[in-house]
Amino acid sequence: MIIGGSASQALAAEVARELDDKLCSVETRKFPDGERYFRIKDEIPEDEPVIVIQSTGYPQDENMMELFFILDILGDMNVTDITLVSPYLGYSRQERRFKEVECISAKAIAKLIQTMGVKRVISINLHEQSICDLYDIPVDNLSAMPAIAAYIRENYSDKKPVILAPDKGAENFAKEIARILNTDYDYLEKVRLSPEKVKTKTKSITVDNRSVIIVDDIISTGGTIVNAIDILKRQGAKAVDVVCVHPVLVNDAILKINAAGANSVTGTNTLKSEVAHISVAKTIANHLKSL
Ligand code: R5P
């Protein structure tokens, strides 16, 4: 039985189709004051394994609260075999203490999820692998890169683009896609030219007259990508496209990226977005089948 929270209902339906599993019928709405309501309309036998699919991106608190409502109902139904698939797991950026006595939000979320009876968590490209260590239950951190690589292969005319990470932290994403597509990859690095001057440039290859696809896990404000596009254009890239796993896209991020000169911006459907054209349903379904 698959239950889709309101942040991930379309994705849940796709995963159910891939697995040939039943998609639970639910009722979800908001009260006039903004509070959420959730009802499970199907019978679920106590011994039935249940997969709850709910991303917890914006509005994070509401989606998180709705997730806890779903888990609470399952507890009331005495369902014990619960797997949570949260393709975008909110509050993951505060996974450690940067200043004294800060709340490690990702740890607080982990505690709540476990307290509410979840036996396994599955997510996609967690902000940091170390988030898995905040849980006492198995956490599977899946990669969306094979799905992104397949999308690039099918939709981009240049079959040998440079796959570029906007910083060292995203290098592994670029590397994984480039390996699948058998093409080049690189990342942008900051080089200090003098005590006052820093230059950002591609680490090892030249992008002059080449098509470049920038890849990152998250695009939030778009600042990182706009900066990368500026540098690539100055270095003579003939075309720049952008792909990401989680299209958070705060405010006018897409406009800013387009204005910087990107041909396209595409993300996966870990979050609902107008640019979410790459589905992670197969990635999730294949992993669930393998368990
Ligand atoms: C950073 O750790 C992430 O990989 C992204 O590069 C970052 O979240 C992008 O943020 P923004 O779009 O606000 O520059």
pLDDT in tens, 39-52: 999 999 999 999 99
Neighbouring-strand partners of residue 200: 190
Q: Which atom of ligand 1 is nearest to the CA of 93?
A: 2
Check 22, 111, 160, 190 and give the catalytic one: 190
Q: Has this prediction a pTM greater than 0.85?
A: yes
For the structural domain made of 145-269, what CATH number should be given?
A: 3.40.50.2020
Name the segment(s) of the chain with CATH classification 3.40.50.2020: 2-143+280-290, 145-269
CATH 3.40.50.2020 holds for 2-143+280-290: yes
111 is catalytic: no
Q: Which of 216, 254, 271, 273 to mutate for ligand 1's pocket (most ligand atoms within 8 Å of CB)?
A: 216
> Under a CB-based contact definition with an 8 Å cutoff, are residues 1 and 21 in contact?
yes
Q: How many Cα atoms occupy the beta-carbon half-sphere of 195 within 13 Å?
A: 0
Span 56-114, pLDDT tens digits: 999 999 999 999 999 999 999 999 999 999 999 999 989 889 999 899 999 999 999 99
170 lines ligand 1 (CB under 6 A): yes
